[in-house]
Amino acid sequence: MKNRALLTLMIAGVSFLSCDKEKIVSEASLPSGATQFITTHFPDETVLQVKKEKDFLEKPVFDVILSNNFELEFKENGDAKKVDGNGKAIPVSVIKPEAVLTYVEEHFEDKTVVAWERDSDSKNEIEVELDNGLELKFDKDGKFLRFED
């Protein structure tokens, strides 16, 4: 009987720890930095959905879907973490640091950036995806590091 109770408790604990919490929230719930980012870089688009996501032991993030089908992700403080154009070119104004855009323009002049992401899991690296599917990694200052597969 003790073994069964212990097993049940362990399963419940693992289930609880592995749960992600997602909640649809209002646009007003976005941090002010996120709202300003959207207004600055996507002035003609409207916010269709905002989802607040909290993984166990991680800070919350906000996932935003715009009327042009772009997907944005913001940190809890409002800093942009990801801009995904879903195959469409993203505004060059969101590609930071400037050295990333310069590198892409110099080495891939006929390609456009369709996604930009700040990878907080790996020393704050930047990743961009080009319209040909190629992914490039940069350090936080915009120095090219490597190609990703």
Q: What does the alpha-carbon distance between residue 125 and residue 140 come to, in Å, rounded to a whole number?
A: 5
CATH number attached to the domain at 19-82:
3.40.1420.30
Confidence bin at 57 (pLDDT 50/70/90)? confident
Whether 85-149 and 19-82 are alike in CATH topology: the answer is yes
pTM: 0.83
Q: In what order do the strands lie in the sheet with 135-138?
A: 21-25, 47-54, 61-66, 71-75, 80-84, 113-119, 125-130, 135-138, 144-148
pLDDT tens digits for 16-31? 444 568 999 999 999 9
Higher pLDDT, 130 or 58: 130
Q: Where are the domains of the chain?
A: 19-82, 85-149
What is the third-level CATH fold of 85-149? Inhibitor of vertebrate lysozyme, Ivy (3.40.1420)
What is the model's pLDDT at position 124? 82
